[in-house]
Copies of this chain bind each other. A is one copy, B any other.
Amino acid sequence: MKNYSRQREEIIKVVKESCDHKTAEEIYMIVKAKDPAVSRSTVYRNLGLLVENNIINKISMLVGPDRYDYITKPHNHAICTKCGKVFDFDYKFEYEKIKQIVIEQTGVEISDKGIALDGICDFCRKNN
């Protein structure tokens, strides 16, 4: 991420200000509303860059497109596998202990981006 660009600035702003967890397409539509000339590839390219630079997180979904999340502090996600909504929750996992156990058992050094759990949200449980 060497050079500044107006488009990137706006993309960051959209992710930062959205309390839900938007898809690339949603972010594209919002940015496009302000600046009709932006292209989808600019959005995808910048989201990729921002993930690489640990400015935003990418959340991979069991169903549907990936979603993005501005990084403030590590937090956890509860993901509805019906509608795809992502909810934040607070819980103090025994992080250091888990990290230790995982690397011993698997060799994988886990990142501290929080933990994601899948389930069904309130709305989808009721309306289905």
A residues near B (Cβ < 8 Å) are 58, 60-62, 78-81, 87-91, 93, 98, 101-102, 105-111, 113, 115-123, 125
User: Copy number of this protein in the oligomer?
Assistant: 2
Contacts of A108 in B (CB 8 A): 78-80, 87, 117, 119-122
Chain B residue at minimum C-beta to C-beta distance from A58? B62
Q: A107-B121, A107-B123, A108-B117 are in contact. List 20 more A-B contacts (CB 8 A).
A: A58-B62, A78-B102, A78-B108, A78-B110, A80-B108, A81-B111, A87-B106, A87-B108, A98-B117, A107-B122, A108-B119, A108-B120, A108-B121, A108-B122, A109-B120, A109-B121, A110-B117, A111-B117, A111-B119, A115-B115
